[in-house]
Amino acid sequence: MAIIGTFTTSKDGFTGTLRTLAFQAKVSFVPNTKSSENAPDYRILASGGYEIGAAWEKLSQADRPYLSVSIDDPALPATVYANLIEGEDGTHTLIWSRSKID
């Protein structure tokens, strides 16, 4: 697993920086007005207001809330799937792990 971002709680969501070897951007998670049950809970916007992904509220097996995140951008080689998890100090960490091929 790799940490690809750190975020803090903002007035309406989360703000922070997404960093990979090929990509770096200031990012905001903003609440989404859901039009259906499967719609994301948050839209992910890069600085300048460009939408680069979405996030869904989930509960872990230990009943701990987290966000399941999907990020895509032409600068990335493929869609990035990650989880935004709250740490003990109140900051949030975006954690990515490569899918295993069976």
Tokens encoding 89? 């100090």
As to burial, measured by CB atoms within 10 angstroms (0-12 exposed, 13-18 middle, 19+ buried), residue 53 is buried
The reply to whether 16 falls in a domain is yes
Please tell me the predicted confidence (pLDDT) of residue 32.
95
Total domains in the fold of the chain: 1
| Domain span including residue 17 | 2-96
Is 74 contained in some domain?
yes
Share of the chain above pLDDT 70, in %: 95
Kindly state the average pLDDT of the residues 88-96: 92
Contacts 24+ apart (CB under 8 A), 75-79: 75/22, 75/23, 76/20, 76/22, 76/23, 77/22
- 101 is a domain residue: no
pLDDT in tens, 50-64: 999 999 999 999 999
102 part of a folded domain: no
Give the mean pLDDT of the chain. 90
pLDDT score for 40 = 97
